A and B are shown apart, each in its own frame.
Chain A
Amino acid sequence: IAGITQAPTSQILAAGRRMTLRCTQDMRHNAMYWYRQDLGLGLRLIHYSNTAGTTGKGEVPDGYSVSRANTDDFPLTLASAVPSQTSVYFCASSDSSGTSDTQYFGPGTRLTVL
């Protein structure tokens, strides 16, 4: 693995189903983030984690949950999917001890909820 990986690449999901989007990084970054990207809007932060064992809510957390059991993994769960959660989801990570704390992104998961 080099950088950040996300799975699945894309998914079509029936409304009401539970879904977990996976994110793994091998850069030993302490901070990780989940964003959604919708046409015409900027990236919006869903949840973040500054270090393993801690998580925080972003701008649009409702309907989503996360966990951070270790440094490398940061899964995002939709407990009961709704059509408004149709979006492209990006996971990102950063080394907050660095000068700029630049975020690096995974390839994204395209999710469609019907």
Chain B
Amino acid sequence: GQNIDQPTEMTATEGAIVQINCTYQTSGFNGLFWYQQHAGEAPTFLSYNVLDGLEEKGRFSSFLSRSKGYSYLLLKELQMKDSASYLCAVRDSNYQLIWGAGTKLIIKP
């Protein structure tokens, strides 16, 4: 079967750095996405990785290793507004997105 694993919940301090991991086992791979979802709102797109390596976008970076079936989202200089769930999704060989259950990130002052 297809599987996306992420930690259920993480806690970090305002101003610090946090890394959210995602491991996947899917039938084929055609890209990995990270989305942010605030409580009661829709998911919003953060990043896309299709090749190995690091993609940096402001305070957020995303890393991919296809050989290890592994990605992480790195958030720097954490702000209170970063409190949200972070969703990892992989596009499989059928070109459908397989979603993880999400990681709830709690930021403390």
Contacts and interface: CB of A to CB of B under 8 A. Distances in A.
Contacts of B89: 42-43
B45 A102 contact: yes
B44 to A, nearest CB: 7
B94 to A, nearest CB: 10
Interface stretch (B13-21, B59-67, B68-76, B95-103): B95-103
A41 B3 CA distance: 12
B48 interface: yes
A100 B48 CA distance: 7
Determine the interface band of chain B, counting residues with CB < 8 A from chain A: 20 to 34
Nearest to A40: B101
Contact of B97 (A45, A106, A107, A108): A45
Interface residues of A, number: 18
A64 interface: no
A44 interface: yes
B42 A42 contact: no
Contact of B43 (A40, A45, A58, A105): A105
Interface string A79-92: 00000000000100
A41 B101 contact: yes
Contacts of B87: 42-43
A103 interface: yes
Contact of B96 (A40, A45, A108): A45
Nearest to B45: A102
Interface of A: 40-45, 48, 58, 90, 100-108
24 contacts: A41-B101, A42-B4, A42-B87, A42-B99, A42-B101, A43-B87, A43-B97, A44-B99, A90-B42, A90-B43, A100-B31, A100-B33, A100-B48, A100-B50, A101-B31, A102-B33, A102-B48, A103-B33, A103-B97, A105-B42, A105-B44, A106-B42, A107-B42, A108-B42
Given A41-B101, A105-B44, A108-B42, 17 more contacts: A40-B101, A42-B4, A42-B87, A42-B98, A42-B99, A43-B89, A45-B97, A58-B96, A90-B43, A100-B31, A100-B33, A101-B91, A102-B48, A103-B33, A104-B45, A105-B42, A108-B41
